[in-house]
Structure 1
Amino acid sequence: MTPEQTGRRIQEALDRLADDGAQDTGEQLVRELMAFYADGLARLVRAVPPAGLSALLDDPAVAGLLVLHDLHPEDAATRIARALAALPEPVELLGFEPGSGTVRLRRTRSGCGCSEQDVEAALACHAPEVTAVVLERAPQLLQIGTRPAAPAEAR
């Protein structure tokens, strides 16, 4: 199960609790569990050697948990680059605006490539501060060649 699916299931459970009037109790339960998991994860992060932790950061579930609990050792730009490197088709990072959460990217090839949904999914766990993706197309190459000869009557 992905972190996004887990988040949706938790939200659905909380929504059901709201219908029964027990929302405050459900939210308190989630807060207590989150604090418990954050403490345990912090201990694990401190105990794992840097090389071992670096290898784990490519896993979307691990990265998502570390970001969720503010334990991820990499800054947003590094996490964005890590997420983009995992895409099947390369894209170029043009910039990230933390204030708006917008990341600007350019396809590096002029084919079908990755869709915005593919990019958003890759960024969801690694860089949840990205709230908008602007994906520019790669520039089309100008084909330069010899011009066909003009018909005799046009000369």
Structure 2
Amino acid sequence: MTEPAPAAVAEPSEGAGPALRLDDGEVAARIARIDELLEKVQIAPGPMAQTAIDAVRVLTEVYGEALARVLDHADAALAERLTEDELLGHLLVLHDLHPEPPDRRAARAVERLRPAVRERGGDVTLDSVEGPVARVRLRTAGCGSGCGSASTGVEEAVREAVLAVAPELTSVETVPETESRQPAFVPVDSLMRRPAAPQGST
């Protein structure tokens, strides 16, 4: 029986350009596809499913070590540029390598959403991060926080964005807008005015 010939390895053609890059949408699609495939592997019967999961785990550990070595060689400016990239930021968080604390990552996530919220007549800012809880101030068009389905949709978008970049946090809470109050003092000129006398009085 003749053994099959080894598969030929394609050599890069002379003058070939750089490999095609993926934009953010394509990256998101591939991440979703990975999740879908892993779910299928996890429910597949037989020992080969566990072997596949172990292979993915080991490969992930190797990529994590590679990212750690990149950070070891990066100066402060390059490290900051790496963390600002959305995909790299997610990978650094995944491997517990992100050099920024969760409150700074949460603030960046909120700032990224802020222009879209402002376009709809509202606003959102990070109020604080206390322990595992992030608190945001949210105002939607025509009302304060907690006003109808529009506010609920924005709250959900903010929650997903914050927890994606800072999975150490457990929840994102909305801080009510402070209502404006009337001045507690009485104007001086009102003290100097005498009340009008009732009609018919002398």
TM range (shorter): 0.7 to 0.9
* Offset of residue 41 of structure 1: 0.7
- Indicate whether 1:15 and 2:22 are aligned: no
Q: For this pair of structures, how many residues does the alignment match?
A: 140
Identify if the C-alpha distance between structure 1 residues 55 and 143 changes in structure 2 by more than 3 Å, giving closer, same or farther. farther
Post-superposition Cα deviations, 1:81-130, rounded to whole Å, max 9, x if no partner, equal: 222232214313233332xxx322222x5636781122123213321122
The question of whether the paired residues in 2 share the 8 Å contact of 1:110 and 1:138 is answered with: no
Q: Which structure has the larger Rg over C-alpha atoms?
A: 2
Q: Does 1:61 align with 2:87?
A: yes
Superposition RMSD in Å: 2.8
The change in CA–CA distance for 1:143 and 1:64 in structure 2 (over 3 A counts) is same
SS at match of 2:174: strand
1:85, 1:127 → 2: CA distance? 14
**2:143 equivalent to 1:104:** no
Shift of 1:6: 5.1
* Kept in 2: contact 1:106–1:137 (CA 8 A): yes
Question: Quick one: percent identity of the two aligned structures?
Answer: 31
Q: TM-score, normalised by structure 1?
A: 0.72
Q: Which amino acid aligns with 1:19?
A: A
Aligned to 1:136: 175
Structure 1 unmatched ranges of 5 or more: 145-155
Q: 1:2 to 1:48 in 2, by over 3 A?
A: farther
Higher relative contact order (CA 8 A, sep 6+): 1
Relative to the length of structure 2, the TM-score reads 0.58
Q: Measure, in 1, the Cα distance between the counterparts of 2:40 and 2:90.
A: 25
Matched, 1:86 2:132: no
